[in-house]
Amino acid sequence: MMNAKILIADDEPNQLELLSFNLRQAGFTVFEAADGRQAVNMVEDLQPDLIILDWMMPHMSGIEVCRLFRSRTETKGLPVIILSARGEEGDRTLGLDTGADDYIIKPFSPRELVSRVKALLRRARPALASDMMEFEDLQIFPSRMEVRRAGKAVPLGPKEYQLLLTLFERPGQVFSRPLLLDRVWGHGVFVEERTVDVHFSRLRKAINGAASDNDKRPNLIRTVRGGGYALGTIS
């Protein structure tokens, strides 16, 4: 669960900073949006594992954003938490009926929010909560940032590890270079796309090097011309 990506949308800078700090301390990768419209624009590129929406925001409220996400096929299953000072039963019911998975009333403790995020991810993204993720003979142990292939340790640098972990989220899905740059290097950070190719070359070498010369194994990272990279052998 340590690599889960959380998008927070809140127009109050102090609260946004506090929430981001506590979630990062808990090991999550956090992205920030200043209003509902910005959150909608960021979701397609970031593909977060969970989104936290403040109810009252300019341009689009948290309720409106949640309703929009539930109407779209690609975001219908995205876990959503709504934060609100509205504590009446009717308000909570409206939030949940709109499609929110959880509704947290202000004021709340950061520790409670982190606990609820973890609980929701355990239900919605069980692979992230697992201590071991596996594809073919390749295994990742997120809690200790360890990678093994056919039982042999695969030494990886931080960027190579994050790239591999990203591919593991959705085996078979092609991740574009711009998306991988956002995921691993951070949104808005300028890095040439060629950098992604360099790190994938190192990643492939490390993974394939875990197999001996007498034990040839398939290349598990697939390059899609004009598309990006995917976890999966070429059929």
The helix/strand/coil state of 13 is helix
Residues 46 and 143 in one domain: no
Angle among Cα 117, 102, 77 to the nearest 5 degrees reads 80
Angle, helices 194-209 vs 177-185, to 10°: value is 80
Task: Give residue 128's pLDDT.
Answer: 62
End of a domain among 79, 104, 128? 128
Residues 147 and 98 in one domain: no
Q: Mean pLDDT throughout 70-85? A: 89
123-134: pLDDT as tens digits: 776 666 566 788
Identify the domain containing residue 46 by its residue range: 5-128
Neighbours of 232 (CB within 10 A): 18
CATH number at residue 106: 3.40.50.2300
Strands 80-84 and 102-105: parallel
- Comparing 103-107, 163-167, 207-211, the range with the smallest average pLDDT is 207-211
94-137: pLDDT as tens digits: 888 888 999 998 888 888 889 889 888 877 766 665 667 888 88
Residues 148 and 115 in one domain: no
Residues 200 and 176 in one domain: yes
Residues 59 and 120 in one domain: yes
Residues 10 and 114 in one domain: yes
Residues 106 and 167 in one domain: no
Residues 148 and 124 in one domain: no
212 pLDDT higher than 80: no
Environment class of residue 55 by beta-carbon count within 10 Å: exposed (0-12), middle (13-18) or buried (19+)? buried
How many domains are contained in the chain?
A: 2
**Is the CB of residue 45 less than 8 Å from the CB of residue 179?**
yes
- Comparing 57-66, 179-188, 204-213, the range with the smallest average pLDDT is 204-213
The model's pTM is 0.57
Beta strands in 47-106 (DSSP E): 50-54, 80-84, 102-105
CATH number at residue 192: 1.10.10.10
Task: Give residue 123's pLDDT.
Answer: 79
End of a domain among 102, 128, 154? 128
235 pLDDT higher than 70: no
Residues 44 and 121 in one domain: yes
